[in-house]
A and B are shown apart, each in its own frame.
Chain A
Amino acid sequence: MSDTDNTTQKYQFNAFMLLFLLSNVQIGVGIFGFQRYIYNESKHDAWLSVILIGIVTHLIMWIMIATLKKHESFDLFDIHRSLFGKWIGSVISICLMIYFIINMTAIIRTYIEAVQSWIFPDFPTWLLSLILLVLMVYGSLGGIRVILQLSFICFFLILGTLILFYYPLQYAEWRRILPIYNTTMQHLLSGAKKMGFTIAGFEIIYFVYHHVKDKNKVMRYAQGSILFTNLLYLIIMIISIVYFSENQMPKTIWGSINLLKIIKYPFLERIEFIAIPFWMFVVVPGLMMLAWVLLRGTSKLFGWNQKLTLYGLAGVVFIASIFFQNRRQIDQLNDFIGEFSIIVSYLYPCLLFVLTYAAAWWRNRKGSKA
């Protein structure tokens, strides 16, 4: 424990950095085409689903931080060990790490799919995968500070992109949003569940909390970050609903990119040719964050050499990403990850919360008895 304490001393950062870090992990490739999935469930009330899941996310974030506070300066791997014991705890941690590896593959593969369907149909999958992984490895070697700084840059990139969405608003048909709440609660909820997959990723608070210097401010900035993400998705969702027609929407795989497509300047058009490549700035820190979590996990559980693990991880993800050949397989992968991420990001934190408080209560009782 003592040597990890030393390393964390070096890399502590202020809570306000969470504002950029969390939103960056949440906003990844999912933003390219999340609209369709939610629209399929709750139709033109999809934006209500977004609000619904947003509120739930705020709650879950509160639960997560409350759990972490109870455990003082542990990260999730330590929590597993203290709650479930060495063996079961390690198994759960390993499951989680496998989930993160699959998640990385899904992110890379989805990004490549976007590039191939919009910019370069013939761009080799392995090459683009290699490009992303080279960047990930190079950045990860610099530690968490690189992730933090990059996510700060991304924050402004995302804000800049958001401004671009004023353009499709000119063609908005606001009546499409009416009538409000024209669906059943069940559809609304299943829409919210689909949305949950898109904004999942905030569970990394379990791992970075340990590194935050002023822990009393974590709640403020983490919630702020969630709010930013929720507002961003809400705005894009509403714009999509008023822009696309009823029949168009379910067929639009890349909703957000389609929105950008119509932007025209006297010297520039087809902004998506610039926006998709530049989204690499957003994708890479997300990958680096997951890699960072994985490296911490493997060095904590197995004591593996971090650098070698990083290269190995890049190799595994590389092979996994070229494994997926077509759109259908990627969709299947995303669906699988989607189910899983709901469990990891929304259900599992609740379980941990309950267990943590139960354990504390149990210990208290035992203590008072003795």
Chain B
Amino acid sequence: MSDLVETLRTQFSSIFHDNTTVIIRAVAHDTAVCYLPELINIEQLNKFVLTPLQQVHWVPTSEQLKRYVMVGEVRTMESIADAIPLMMKGWVYVATPHTGVVVNIANIPNRQIGSPQNETTILGPMLAFNESLETNTALLRSSIPNTALHKEAFKIGNKRNTSVHLMYMTDQVEESCANIVRQRIQQLYSNDITGSSELMHLIQDNDSSIFPQMILTERVDLASHSLLEGKIVILVDGSPLVIIGPSEFTDFFLTTEDRYMGWGIGTFLRILRMLALLISVYLTPAYVAALTFHYEIIPSSLLVSLIESRSRVPFPPLFETLILELTMELLREAGARLPTKVGQTMGIVGGIVIGQAAVQAGFTSNILIMLVALAALGSFATPNYLMSSTLRLIRYPMVIFAGLWGSIGIVFFSVLATIHLIRQTSLGQPYFYPIHPSHKSSTLDQDVLMPELKGLTSTGHRIRKYAKSFRLSSLWTGKIDN
């Protein structure tokens, strides 16, 4: 008996380089359990593994071990080397001189399921993903209890061996997209990743573009909704964010809440967000262009107050705007890095002290402060954090071009950005197609929510089409799709 413990000890210590990491305990007749104490549930170990094994009075075979250990997941492992990756995840290795089994009684430290912290909504479910892959998969499975929901498991990385799950509805998904994702994930089996955002950058179509091509979300309802639309959801162990793809540019400006609000308010909010997009990108460049080159476009009554407020400012509009935009960015960045309590103070310091003082010191004009704040508000109205960061980023070249070439510069950069967006793809699917070249319904159609047609089916049930969308084509084909 002590022989077995001794051999196990030497084997483990040669792998782990010490004697303390793995606990090796002899039980009953020629049997020993080995485990990493931090990762297992001690109570379950006592109750379902140690107690039953006490009754074994001979050298058990692996089949007998499996029968005695009262745990759901038990696997036969011939060698220690095979068992170690699982032991590192909280499994217990039950060894006999000839064979061994691993038993899953893992107790990986984990966070409770909470409510979404970053993508908050007022209406709708308050479920968010957490860091456990099992929990996240369970959340999606329970949200769509359907056999069509398909799951594929992958392992990525040499060292971390991260589990990645690919989920989609088999009856909805575009098979080519699923193939692309599968291929790309398999290609990077040796990359160690720490989270889903890293994986997203590794598998997206064009990583040199500053526009995010897939959505990262912590909201369960958004993920399950996307699954039902035929999208692919990628879950990564250890990351509370799931990847949704393929995504279109407009998807980044939609929230699930729009649908909970009803069609009127929902559509209004979507239009508002598009307006916010335009404001956040064009407002400050327009100021720079107008005050550097095109005084003519401002009516004289407005021009007077503009010039008055700018009269004490010694800088050209381009510099003035860049300084203020950078200050705004600094405030945002400092606010994000500071602890919450200090962060609030930061807002006051930034907003009131710097803003007020900058005007009084003759650094900037009142109107520009207002415009920069509006532009910032506009970018914060974008529901997707990555996209709103991108929008803030593309404002800088826009401002610089506006300062160089006025309105020509603004339009030059707009056309450039539009062409760039059109050229992008997301998992092989078009990314920014105002109108799809082969379907008559455009993506714009789906962005207009229409009141749902309520009716009765032949069995007398009230039908309510999920996500009823308005198709422009129905205006002339005369067909009402329901």
Using CB atoms and an 8 Å cutoff, list the residues of chain A in contact with chain B.
12-14, 16-17, 20, 115, 119-120, 123, 127-128, 131, 134-135, 138-139, 141-142, 145-146, 148-150, 152-153, 213, 264-271, 273-274, 277-278, 280-281, 284
B403-418 at interface with A (beta carbon < 8 Å) = 405-408, 410-412, 414-416, 418
Given contacts A274-B297, A277-B407, whether A145 and B302 have CB atoms under 8 Å apart is no
| Bound Cα distance from A138 to B418, whole angstroms | 11
User: Is B419 at the interface (CB under 8 A from chain A)?
Assistant: yes
Distance between A370 CB and nearest chain B CB, rounded to angstroms:
43
Contact among A20, A120, A153, A280 for B411, CB-based, below 8 A: A280
Distance between B249 CB and nearest chain A CB, rounded to angstroms:
11
User: Is B422 at the interface (CB under 8 A from chain A)?
Assistant: yes
The answer to whether A277 and B419 touch across the interface, beta carbons within 8 angstroms, is no
User: Is B98 at the interface (CB under 8 A from chain A)?
Assistant: no
Given contacts A142-B419, A153-B434, whether A14 and B407 have CB atoms under 8 Å apart is no
The answer to whether B412 and A135 touch across the interface, beta carbons within 8 angstroms, is yes
The answer to whether A119 and B298 touch across the interface, beta carbons within 8 angstroms, is no
Residue of A nearest to B299 (CB): A269
| Bound Cα distance from A142 to B294, whole angstroms | 34
The answer to whether B423 and A273 touch across the interface, beta carbons within 8 angstroms, is no
User: Is B263 at the interface (CB under 8 A from chain A)?
Assistant: no
B 390-414 binary contact with A (CB < 8 Å = 1; else 0) = 0000000000000001111011101
B239-256 at interface with A (beta carbon < 8 Å) = none
Q: Which residues of chain B come closer than 8 Å to A115, judged between CB atoms?
A: 408
User: Is B432 at the interface (CB under 8 A from chain A)?
Assistant: yes
Given contacts A17-B437, A213-B438, whether A284 and B415 have CB atoms under 8 Å apart is yes
| Bound Cα distance from A280 to B401, whole angstroms | 15
User: Is B464 at the interface (CB under 8 A from chain A)?
Assistant: no
Q: Which residues of chain A come closer than 8 Å to B152, judged between CB atoms?
A: none
Q: Which residues of chain A come closer than 8 Å to B411, judged between CB atoms?
A: 277-278, 280-281
User: Is B385 at the interface (CB under 8 A from chain A)?
Assistant: no
| Bound Cα distance from A297 to B172, whole angstroms | 41
The answer to whether A280 and B415 touch across the interface, beta carbons within 8 angstroms, is yes
Q: Which residues of chain B come closer than 8 Å to A265, judged between CB atoms?
A: 299
| Bound Cα distance from A7 to B39, whole angstroms | 56
Given contacts A123-B405, A149-B422, whether A270 and B412 have CB atoms under 8 Å apart is no
In this complex, which of A138, A141, A268, A273 has the most chain B Cβ atoms within 10 angstroms of its Cβ? Answer: A273
Contact among A13, A135, A271 for B419, CB-based, below 8 A: A135
Contact among A12, A20, A123, A268 for B297, CB-based, below 8 A: A268
Contact among B302, B415, B433, B438 for A149, CB-based, below 8 A: B433
The answer to whether B438 and A14 touch across the interface, beta carbons within 8 angstroms, is yes
| Bound Cα distance from A223 to B373, whole angstroms | 49
Given contacts A123-B408, A266-B299, whether A146 and B423 have CB atoms under 8 Å apart is yes
| Bound Cα distance from A280 to B415, whole angstroms | 8
The answer to whether A135 and B408 touch across the interface, beta carbons within 8 angstroms, is no
Residue of A nearest to B433 (CB): A149
Distance between B107 CB and nearest chain A CB, rounded to angstroms:
53
The answer to whether B296 and A270 touch across the interface, beta carbons within 8 angstroms, is yes
* Total number of B residues with any Cβ neighbor in A under 8 Å: 31
Q: Which residues of chain B come closer than 8 Å to A139, judged between CB atoms?
A: 419
Contact among A123, A213, A273 for B294, CB-based, below 8 A: A273
User: Is B435 at the interface (CB under 8 A from chain A)?
Assistant: yes
User: Is B440 at the interface (CB under 8 A from chain A)?
Assistant: yes
The answer to whether A267 and B299 touch across the interface, beta carbons within 8 angstroms, is yes
The answer to whether A120 and B422 touch across the interface, beta carbons within 8 angstroms, is no
Distance between B186 CB and nearest chain A CB, rounded to angstroms:
25
The answer to whether A138 and B435 touch across the interface, beta carbons within 8 angstroms, is no
The answer to whether B297 and A149 touch across the interface, beta carbons within 8 angstroms, is no
Q: Which residues of chain B come closer than 8 Å to A17, judged between CB atoms?
A: 435, 437
User: Is B268 at the interface (CB under 8 A from chain A)?
Assistant: no
Q: Which residues of chain B come closer than 8 Å to A145, judged between CB atoms?
A: 422, 430, 437
Residue of B nearest to A213 (CB): B438
User: Is B315 at the interface (CB under 8 A from chain A)?
Assistant: no
| Bound Cα distance from A218 to B70, whole angstroms | 71
The answer to whether B294 and A269 touch across the interface, beta carbons within 8 angstroms, is no
The answer to whether A268 and B298 touch across the interface, beta carbons within 8 angstroms, is yes
Q: Which residues of chain B come closer than 8 Å to A131, judged between CB atoms?
A: 405, 408, 412
Q: Which residues of chain B come closer than 8 Å to A119, judged between CB atoms?
A: 293-294, 406-408
Q: What are some 25 contacts across the A-B interface (CB < 8 A)? A: A14-B437, A14-B438, A120-B293, A120-B406, A127-B405, A138-B419, A141-B423, A142-B423, A145-B430, A146-B419, A150-B419, A264-B299, A267-B298, A273-B407, A274-B297, A277-B406, A277-B408, A280-B408, A280-B411, A280-B415, A281-B411, A281-B414, A281-B415, A284-B415, A284-B419
Residue of B nearest to A280 (CB): B411
The answer to whether B434 and A152 touch across the interface, beta carbons within 8 angstroms, is yes
Distance between A9 CB and nearest chain B CB, rounded to angstroms:
12
| Bound Cα distance from A280 to B419, whole angstroms | 12
Residue of B nearest to A132 (CB): B412
Q: Which residues of chain A come closer than 8 Å to B297, judged between CB atoms?
A: 268-271, 273-274
B274-302 at interface with A (beta carbon < 8 Å) = 293-294, 296-299, 302
Contact among A134, A153, A264 for B418, CB-based, below 8 A: A153
| Bound Cα distance from A148 to B434, whole angstroms | 10
In the A-B complex, the 5 residue pairs with the closest CB atoms: A13-B437, A277-B411, A142-B423, A277-B407, A139-B419
Q: Which residues of chain A come closer than 8 Å to B414, judged between CB atoms?
A: 281
Residue of B nearest to A11 (CB): B437
Distance between A192 CB and nearest chain B CB, rounded to angstroms:
32
The answer to whether B410 and A277 touch across the interface, beta carbons within 8 angstroms, is yes
| Bound Cα distance from A264 to B296, whole angstroms | 11
Distance between A216 CB and nearest chain B CB, rounded to angstroms:
15
Distance between B299 CB and nearest chain A CB, rounded to angstroms:
5
| Bound Cα distance from A127 to B401, whole angstroms | 13
| Bound Cα distance from A344 to B434, whole angstroms | 32
Residue of A nearest to B473 (CB): A16
Residue of B nearest to A267 (CB): B302
Q: Which residues of chain B come closer than 8 Å to A277, judged between CB atoms?
A: 406-408, 410-411
10 additional A-B residue pairs with CB within 8 Å, beyond A131-B412, A273-B297: A119-B294, A131-B408, A139-B419, A146-B419, A150-B422, A264-B299, A274-B297, A277-B407, A278-B411, A284-B419
Q: Which residues of chain B come closer than 8 Å to A120, judged between CB atoms?
A: 293, 405-406, 408
| Bound Cα distance from A266 to B302, whole angstroms | 8
Q: Which residues of chain A come closer than 8 Å to B435, judged between CB atoms?
A: 17, 20, 149, 152
Q: Which residues of chain A come closer than 8 Å to B294, judged between CB atoms?
A: 119, 270, 273
Q: Which residues of chain B come closer than 8 Å to A266, judged between CB atoms?
A: 299, 302
Residue of A nearest to B420 (CB): A138
Distance between A143 CB and nearest chain B CB, rounded to angstroms:
9
| Bound Cα distance from A127 to B409, whole angstroms | 11
| Bound Cα distance from A271 to B440, whole angstroms | 33
| Bound Cα distance from A120 to B293, whole angstroms | 9
The answer to whether B299 and A268 touch across the interface, beta carbons within 8 angstroms, is yes
| Bound Cα distance from A50 to B281, whole angstroms | 40
Q: Which residues of chain B come closer than 8 Å to A16, judged between CB atoms?
A: 440
Residue of A nearest to B411 (CB): A277
| Bound Cα distance from A13 to B436, whole angstroms | 9
Given contacts A115-B408, A273-B407, whether A135 and B302 have CB atoms under 8 Å apart is no
Q: Which residues of chain A come closer than 8 Å to B302, judged between CB atoms?
A: 266-267
The answer to whether B415 and A135 touch across the interface, beta carbons within 8 angstroms, is yes
The answer to whether B434 and A149 touch across the interface, beta carbons within 8 angstroms, is yes
Distance between A273 CB and nearest chain B CB, rounded to angstroms:
5
| Bound Cα distance from A14 to B436, whole angstroms | 9
Distance between B457 CB and nearest chain A CB, rounded to angstroms:
33
Residue of A nearest to B294 (CB): A273
Given contacts A119-B294, A149-B432, A268-B298, whether A14 and B419 have CB atoms under 8 Å apart is no
